[in-house]
Structure 1
Amino acid sequence: MRVNKQAIIKFSIGKYQDEIFCDVVPMQACHLLLGRPWQFDVDAQHSKRTNKYSFVVKGEKYILNPLTPYQVSEDYRVTRELREKYQREEKEKSESETLLAISGEETSQDGFKKSISTLPSSISSLLQEYETLFPEEMPDGLPPLRGIEHQIDFVLDTQIPNKPAYRSNPEEIKESQRQVDGLLKKGLVKESLSPCAVLVILVPKKDGT
């Protein structure tokens, strides 16, 4: 399963209070799963016979006891009610979107999209969730550093391409220069300092296009 969301979660179990960095994945559950990373961080000791976890945080010892059969039953009942409520809300939402598509009404939010009536509910909800990724104008500067950065490495012993530049008319050159100047001004691109850089924008492809 691909993880594309993370969140810092504050939680408390009795007197024990803490916050952890969690991966967010779709599950048919309403629980916080304290897995091996948390057990490693707090150096938790598990008693297999009593199924208890004990650990020390800031000089204070905590013991997590397992749920009683009654607590397990109540927890299952609450989880089932929440799941049924969520399913009812999703069904009502889907029906309302269907009526919206039939009536032909349009909705607009910050100029991101003019209508969602022709899109499936799963697509429209996805676009609404990530609408901040599609601003009307690109922000200045490069994106912030992420937790995982990627790079493209050169292949060893590869011949550097040396091909004639693409011939452009003055209008195309002027437009290309305008776009490059705009990108430089916003900080989205920088002048290349690589000795392998080819100082052209467009070059012919292998197929001649």
Structure 2
Amino acid sequence: TMLEIDPEEKILLQTRPAFGGNVMATIASRYSRPQMATVRPGVMQPCECAGDRAEIINHAVKIPGTPAIAAAKVLEIIREAKRKVRLGEAKVIVAGGRGTGGKIGFNLIEKLAESFSGEVAGTRIAVEEGWIPVERQVGQTGQSVRPELYIACGISGAVQHRAGMQDSRYIIAINKDPGAPIFTVADWGIVGDLHQIIPEMLLQIK
């Protein structure tokens, strides 16, 4: 997905996958005004601020209350046990696809993610099979992420998935198929069975 302005016609150009991801189509709004487009969070890099212009003003605020309120004391804070998914903030993401084979494969992925203090993610097929919840889906119909390290395990690398992770700083791909498209965007590629490779990685990390 890409947005740009045509320098000659001064119109908005929107580029996105089409026909099942087989081609990249550019959409131009030549005769419609206003011109606008919607993108998912994480697709674009945030704009850099010109500088801090805000001024900090300290102001003492007196809150009226009854003696009962004034004497209130926090005894305990109980947080929800379920950990919130923060793929967009994660520095390391370990993701799995069809090649994981199911829950057993994702158990390995979870262990690898924990060793990096990272997050677990996956492809649409992993969500459809019930291996991971939908809030952990990365791709065109999921979230777009830009972690420092993205480890793709058993992911073939369809354009829909690559659209959501190809801007990661470093990408490691693990796949048994040496011709898998995921290797075209990977900085390092490992051809092999993730069920054998991940346990070896865990041993090296320890």
The TM-score range, normalised by the shorter chain, is: under 0.3
Give the structure with the larger helix fraction. Answer: 1
Query: RCO higher in 1 or 2 (8 Å CA, sep ≥ 6)?
Result: 2
Is the radius of gyration larger for structure 1 or structure 2? Answer: 1
* TM-score with structure 1 setting the length: 0.22
* TM-score with structure 2 setting the length: 0.22
